[in-house]
Amino acid sequence: MASLTKKTENKRRRRHRNAGRARKNRLAKQSTPSYDELFASLGEPGKPAPTTQG
């Protein structure tokens, strides 16, 4: 049977690794705009772009 110290070290290492992966997954989930979001301001294809009020 493994020692309590070794179990604790493994648990800490696993928790840190999983926390890092979860953080990266959260950041990557919406890091880039979708195609629709990127080109939404340009209007429908084949039609003139909407005019800005200004």
| pLDDT value at residue 9 | 97
Complete DSSP assignment for the chain: ---HHHHHHHHHHHHHHHHHHHHHHHHHHTSS--HHHHHGGG-STTSPPPPPP-
**pTM greater than 0.85 (yes/no):** no
Whether 12 contacts 18, CB under 8 Å: no
| pLDDT value at residue 51 | 76
**Along the 54 residues of the chain, how does pLDDT read in single tens digits?**
789 999 999 999 999 999 999 999 988 887 778 888 888 888 788 888 777 775
